Structure 1
Amino acid sequence: MTNVHVIGTGGYQPGDPIPTSEIERLVGPLPADVLEGLAITSRHWIADPATGAQSENNSDMALKAAQRALESAGVDAAEIDLMILATGTPDYVLPPVVNLVQERLGLVRCATMELRSGGAGVVQAMEIARRFLADGTYRTALLIGSEAISPVLIPVFLGQDPARIRMRERIPVYMFGDGAGALVMRAGEGPGGVSAGATACIGGDRKPGIHAVGGGTHAPIAEQLKAKRLVDLRVDVVGAGDFTPQMVIEGIGATLAAAKVDVETVDLCLVPEGNVGWMRDSLTDQGLDQGAWKALDGKVIDSLPVMGAVGCAAVPLFLDDAWRSGRIRRGDRVMVVGVESTKWIYAGAVIDWTMP
């Protein structure tokens, strides 16, 4: 089969970074150990913390990341014949965000898909695109991950006394940021490129680790409107600490097996949350097999501390940051593992990097 390469990346985050000191002023402090475990010092929001007004929306960010990826690839938007977008915070329930971006790129006809697998979504999209491109169905694919979480966070604190905000409601405000990332993939000759990937949901018997309740069809709209907030973002911090490390360890092993490569040959590994203290501690505390993880010591790249938890955007946004900063170079073997704790999904892929 024809090899498939990543030929362009792009990332976008709105406005100026919001420091953690500002979050503390808005919602009150966290216990020192919790704050240290989150390891996030800044994040970007489309929503103004002071007023709640939005400077842009999800599709705006997705478009900007896509345009930057196309520019880096030297590809005109008209060449895209497959678009896949992952998001959990769309502009509207329908139409899909991917089609809003398609329209704004001027593409009248294009194959499109939208995934709702959170942090694993874009990596799943890489495998879908790889197969379609390798068998000749399509030639050039644009993959986007975008997330606009701040509009859900604003009602937690706007007009509220920080001292009265419960601890479980404070934590998501500290955690989440907004942003978008994009990749351009193309079939072509030559060595390298994207290897076969792996994905699984291993939480079929577990409660969601993150649950966004409201705005859907789980209950009558009239009943939902009586709630304190239209959308309530619930995060099981303890559950994430217990189970995310298992997703990461299994995801790394499955990805290496699918790509048929040894961990020692991997130059860099991108795992959002891969460098945070709570996860490393959990690996040790739970006695998980850390053979592959230890082999990756010093090779893990992660922009979480300065970008925040950005859901579907994390893998492509962090990948773009690593490439533009010179951390990823031509000839590197890069493993990416996306994880999603809503229902405990992982997806991984190995890229033999060919971009200059």
Structure 2
Amino acid sequence: MTVPTAHLASVGTCLPGEPVDNATLAKLVGIDEQWAEMLIGNISRYFAVDLATGHVRHSLTDIATTAADRALAQAGLDPGDIDCIVMGTATPDQLMPATVNLVADRLGIDNVPTYQLQSGCAGAIQALDVARTLLLARRCATVLVIGGDVCAKHLETDFDPGSRSSAELVNYVLFGDGAGAAVLSTESFGQRIEIRQVLNRLVGLGKKPGQVIDWFGLADRHTDRTVVSEDYKAIEAAVPALASQMFWELLADLGWTPDQVDYLLPPQLSGRMSDRISEGMPAPGARRINVVRTVGNNGNALPFLQLAELTEQWQGPGRAVTVAVESSKWIKSGIALERT
């Protein structure tokens, strides 16, 4: 019996609205442009919320559906060709119904298994892992994988610029909104990229969360606790090491050497951090795929945005390694790709 393989056929992405640069943020929320560029390194991001008015312009369902439509179109498939949908997000539109099912409804997909994983930056890799597992187990032949987040809905818009601390303002500079999708199949078509390995490791035993996104119900909606908080110093200290560990784990698992990696997709925490992380992942001839500097940290969308950029640049045979790290409770994950 032939052993099935999982292939990446296509990638689609969606970024809501127009890019918001640091000069605009300076006017709206009172950040210092020089501080933002030196500390974070992001120069723009996209928001599904109008920060000037607080009006929500796009839901996660909206942008995830658009990204999925684009992935299907690129693969030359109709919604009826999909056997399963897997989605990763940290910011679903509601607790119920699951956003993945709202997207399926918009696409016109019915009578298939759907899965939604609640996770941060590693959620996209976890979703791809679940999809690949289903393909290798012959449970499905074609899977639509979606990742996305709308972080801006957790950010305050009604406050006096200059009244917030740097620890609060960093979230406006760091985060953004977006969605991505990919079609995975046991058949080699479209991009014809084989997913050689996917690894996920929870490594947060006994460690404090590096990031918390709170969810308020009716009973605690008037609480004064911060909705989004993170220990940026802990993240700066931990993520480069975790990224390097995952890089070496993937290579060891496949018997690859660093000089055999043609493309490296490092964790996309921020422009500054991504550059630092890349330096700690030795792949001498690899081209780095960094996108966070211009799109912001949009969580589960980022690996898909990187994959979209990768497929634009990737010509001919080669190997690529993608690494993502989630700081909420410390997860390291990665994917190894090969085109022969």
- TM-score normalised by structure 2 residue count: 0.92
Contact 1:140/1:185 (8 A) holds in 2: yes
User: Aligned partners of 1:67, 1:152: CA distance in 2, in Å?
Assistant: 27
Residues 238-293 of structure 1: CA distance to partner in whole angstroms, max 9, x if unpaired?
Answer: 11111111211111112222333222211101123388434655898xxxxx4xx1
Equivalent in the alignment of 1:272: 267
Which moves more between the two structures, 180-189 or 274-283?
274-283
Equivalent in the alignment of 2:317: 331
Structure 2 CA distance for partners of 1:281 and 1:148, relative to 1, 3 Å? closer
Equivalent in the alignment of 2:205: 204
Structure 2 CA distance for partners of 1:281 and 1:105, relative to 1, 3 Å? closer
Equivalent in the alignment of 1:160: 159
- Secondary structure (helix, strand or coil) at the match of 1:14 reads coil
Which moves more between the two structures, 176-185 or 271-280?
271-280
Equivalent in the alignment of 1:193: 194
- Secondary structure (helix, strand or coil) at the match of 1:118 reads coil
Q: Please state if 1:307 is matched with 2:303.
A: no
User: Aligned partners of 1:24, 1:62: CA distance in 2, in Å?
Assistant: 29
Q: Extract unaligned runs of 5+ from structure 1.
A: 285-289
Structure 2 CA distance for partners of 1:253 and 1:32, relative to 1, 3 Å? same
Name which of 91, 101, 105 aligns with 1:99: 101
Name which of 46, 60, 63 aligns with 2:62: 60
Structure 2 CA distance for partners of 1:52 and 1:94, relative to 1, 3 Å? same
Structure 2 CA distance for partners of 1:235 and 1:274, relative to 1, 3 Å? closer
Which moves more between the two structures, 236-245 or 186-195?
186-195
> RMSD across aligned C-alpha pairs, in angstroms?
2.3
**What is the aligned length?**
336
Q: Percent identity?
A: 29
Structure 2 CA distance for partners of 1:198 and 1:258, relative to 1, 3 Å? farther
Contact 2:147/2:180 (8 A) holds in 1: yes
- TM-score normalised by structure 1 residue count: 0.88
Query: Which amino acid counterpart does residue 235 of structure 2 have in structure 1?
Result: A
User: Aligned partners of 1:298, 1:109: CA distance in 2, in Å?
Assistant: 42
Residues 179-214 of structure 1: CA distance to partner in whole angstroms, max 9, x if unpaired?
Answer: 001110100269961112211111222111110123
Equivalent in the alignment of 1:84: 86
Equivalent in the alignment of 2:234: 239
Structure 2 CA distance for partners of 1:165 and 1:33, relative to 1, 3 Å? closer
Displacement after TM superposition at 1:294 (Å): 2.5
User: Aligned partners of 1:249, 1:62: CA distance in 2, in Å?
Assistant: 30
Equivalent in the alignment of 1:226: 222
Contact 1:11/1:181 (8 A) holds in 2: yes
Query: Which amino acid counterpart does residue 305 of structure 2 have in structure 1?
Result: L
Mapping 1:281-300, distance limit 5 Å: 290=280, 293-296=281-284, 299-300=287-288
Query: Which amino acid counterpart does residue 349 of structure 1 have in structure 2?
Result: I
User: Aligned partners of 1:313, 1:258: CA distance in 2, in Å?
Assistant: 26
Structure 2 CA distance for partners of 1:339 and 1:296, relative to 1, 3 Å? farther
Contact 2:71/2:183 (8 A) holds in 1: yes
Displacement after TM superposition at 1:308 (Å): 0.1
Which moves more between the two structures, 173-182 or 207-216?
207-216
Runs of 4+ in 1 over 3 A off after TM superposition: 30-35, 189-192, 274-284
Name which of 11, 14, 18 aligns with 1:12: 14
Query: Which amino acid counterpart does residue 67 of structure 1 have in structure 2?
Result: D
Displacement after TM superposition at 1:97 (Å): 0.9
Equivalent in the alignment of 2:333: 347
Equivalent in the alignment of 1:138: 140
Q: Please state if 1:260 is matched with 2:255.
A: yes
Contact 1:30/1:171 (8 A) holds in 2: no
User: Aligned partners of 1:85, 1:249: CA distance in 2, in Å?
Assistant: 26
User: Aligned partners of 1:143, 1:95: CA distance in 2, in Å?
Assistant: 18
- Secondary structure (helix, strand or coil) at the match of 1:69 reads helix
User: Aligned partners of 2:142, 2:56: CA distance in 1, in Å?
Assistant: 33
